[in-house]
Structure 1
Amino acid sequence: MRKTGFVCDESYFWHDTGNGALFLPPGGWVETDVHSENPATKRRFKNLLERSGLMAKLVQIAPRPATREEIQLYHTPDYVEKVKHLSDTTGGDAGELALVGSGSYEIAVLSTGGAITAVDAVMKGQVDNAYALTRPPGHHAEKSLGMGFCLFNNVAIAAKYAQKTYNLERILVLDWDVHHGNGTESAFYDNPNVLFISLHQELNYPPGRGLAEHVGEGRGEGYNVNIPLPAGTGNAGYMYALETLVRPIADQFKPQLILISAGQDPSLFDPLARMMVTAEGFRRIASFMLELADTHCNGRLVACHEGGYSAPYVPFCSHAIVEEMSGIRTAVEDPFAPAMHTIPTDVLYDIQKEYVDRVKEVQSKYWKMS
């Protein structure tokens, strides 16, 4: 068993993205529906933790709001003020599909503060690792532009905070959200002290980002690793990428802290992606990352919730991750597993292997590959 922290706050579920069909506002031919980035997936995850009894065995960590100075470790003052103004007045879009509702600013700074609080708890040894159920998400948010449901970049700010507060020289940020973590990539594209690795569905979102050839620039060249995967990649493809590409790079980098952008939208049932990872697959991915943390940084690992839009299935994927982080197994089983037994989630297809091997070829200029 590990001492695992859990960060959440009721206000996270009160961030209002309005209504819409998937991510489009209603109007014209688009009938009113529920916006994809709504509280359901996160609240149901929290409910499942409580129902299973696992929540009672986690260390509850109350988040604090991030200060304006902390938010501006990455974001520009003008952008921060824009989000606050929208939050205080009419609401609106802070960039591209980054909706701000009434009071969203205060919730967003508490979401970023949740990531920071989790880092503090891990770095001070209060817990071995931590899961922050942050909302709104953050990994798409650029320095002066909100994107893809994200207002402030929780993980990027948490990494910069950890560098500043704890004098860390090597931080690994791994983003397994199905969409490329463009904002986090931008934050560290020329920084050799933060190794950013993104596994994502190729050509999904944002357009033109996350290519294997995007390896960083200046002193940061080689410290940006994009692993675009073809649609239909399941557990086997993700594990092949982790074992043959992420492991050798991480072993050479030797991180002092691991941060994860944990988006459960590579799941088989996600409406905004076409991947095939199961709850058991997320368990294996989490186990792999915990092993890296145990090897290199005394288990210091913080996972921050990002995407995941299948309200029925995300809770089981996320629950499996926290079970693995804590080392505590409950009676919860994946109720969807019997219906998936004919789906080849654990088959590594040649095309998936070719995609990973192509990234290995690109990265072999910077890292020794096994």
Structure 2
Amino acid sequence: MTTGFFWDERTFWHGGGNYAFTLPVGDLVQPLAAGGLPESPETKRRLKNLMDVTGITADLAVQTAPMALEADLARIHPQDYLSQFKALSDAGGGELGARTPFAKGGYEIAALSAGLAKAAVAKVLEGTLTNAYALSRPPGHHCLPDFPNGFCLFANIAIALEAARATRPGLKVAVLDWDVHHGNGTEAIYYDRDDTLTISLHQDGNYPLDTGDIADRGRGGGAGYNINLPMHAGSGHTAYLHAMDNVVIPAITAFKPDLIVVACGFDASVIDPLSTMLATADTFRQMTTRIKTLAEKLCDGKLVLVHEGGYSEVYVPFCGHATLEALSGSKITAPDPFEAGFARRQPAPPMDAFLRSEIDRMAEELGL
């Protein structure tokens, strides 16, 4: 088994300038570090550094990839959006949508981020790699075809999938999004289609505020092929695994995909500043183990994880390392230094039972 790891130092150079995430700087609001953008390069850079220090990098097929071509981007994004983005990028940067600032050269960096996902999908499908992880930055799951959103400038996963479908028409793909925020961009792109099953596990009422309802199941030919699981704030390790066992695995098994892709955000972790969930590094390890086992059963192990959110510079590296351990089968570990403390923060048994019962209720509503 060979696990690919796609990354490029240039993606760490994406920046948004002086920008405050929620409130204007002034009065009693101090500017934050790195211009106030929570989506900083440090979470990704520190993950790669941890991989190098433990030595797990040597167990992976580490590589970069070229930028996604304009033809790849244009399968998802209209030409006027691409032209406007490129012109503003060349002129020094700016912002086109909601919370998506970029500096000079931001267009090329975003195209490179999409290119990493594209290459990961292509090499897994052709059998060069068993599975793969793309450390894409900027992320992509909030990006609509004509409106960048929530740090996302191109729809990385959709771009990768449609590039694959250009030579593999009829490819069936299940996209599982366990980022703590609703994958509204991916949902919107595939909402009318039956060749892509989209599943989003997300914190209810987080971001975006107006999407991610359990009743949103798809439209037209895509009816029934979109699944949202809005989980209660405070959901922890056992609730996430319960969701995997009782919603994700049954739904993907029934769909019978040729490929599984995970929108892999680590922002459901215990100490993430943009959520109030209680997942740990071991949660991500075990979710990865489950989805890898499912891929081996359904589609010859064809599995690609594409990096999305995660905003704790301290903890994302350990969540990512645990994920890569499970994905690759490497025996090299990075023991979670916070494990004992985070175990004490998990929901008390009565609350945990309630959270799992809510997942069961939603699974029944979804017909699973």
Aligned positions, number: 364
One-letter code aligned to 1:199: L
Shift of 1:25: 5.4
What is aligned with 2:88? 86
Cα distance change of structure 1 residues 88 and 25 upon mapping to structure 2, 3 Å threshold: farther
Shift of 1:360: 1.7
What is aligned with 2:322? 320
Measured in 2, the distance between the counterparts of 1:10 and 1:79 equals 26
Cα distance change of structure 1 residues 281 and 256 upon mapping to structure 2, 3 Å threshold: same
Shift of 1:107: 0.4
Please point out which of 347, 352, 355 is paired with 1:349.
352
What is aligned with 1:154? 156
Q: Is the 8 A contact 2:93 2:102 kept in 1?
A: yes
Measured in 1, the distance between the counterparts of 2:149 and 2:355 equals 28
What is aligned with 1:129? 131
Where does structure 1 lack aligned partners over 5 or more consecutive residues?
none
What is aligned with 1:104? 106
Please point out which of 341, 361, 364 is paired with 2:364.
361
SS at match of 1:349: helix
One-letter code aligned to 2:104: S
Cα distance change of structure 1 residues 7 and 23 upon mapping to structure 2, 3 Å threshold: farther
Moved more, 23-32 or 3-12: 23-32
One-letter code aligned to 1:10: E
Q: For residues 6-155 of structure 1, what are the structure 2 equivalents within 5 Å?
A: 6-22=5-21, 24=23, 26-34=25-33, 35-155=37-157
CA RMSD of aligned residues (A): 1.5
Q: Is the 8 A contact 1:23 1:36 kept in 2?
A: no
Shift of 1:40: 0.4
Measured in 1, the distance between the counterparts of 2:294 and 2:71 equals 32
One-letter code aligned to 2:107: Y
One-letter code aligned to 2:341: A
Check if 1:303 corresponds to 2:339. no
Shift of 1:248: 1.4
Shift of 1:161: 1.9
Q: TM-score, normalised by structure 2?
A: 0.95
Moved more, 312-321 or 165-174: 165-174
Q: Structure 1, residues 116-139: CA drift from partner, whole Å, max 9, x if none?
A: 000111111111100000000000
Shift of 1:352: 1.7
What is aligned with 1:3? 2
Shift of 1:185: 0.1
What is aligned with 1:190? 192
Where does structure 2 lack aligned partners over 5 or more consecutive residues?
none
Measured in 2, the distance between the counterparts of 1:135 and 1:13 equals 7
Measured in 1, the distance between the counterparts of 2:46 and 2:340 equals 21
Q: Is the 8 A contact 2:202 2:231 kept in 1?
A: yes
Shift of 1:168: 4.0
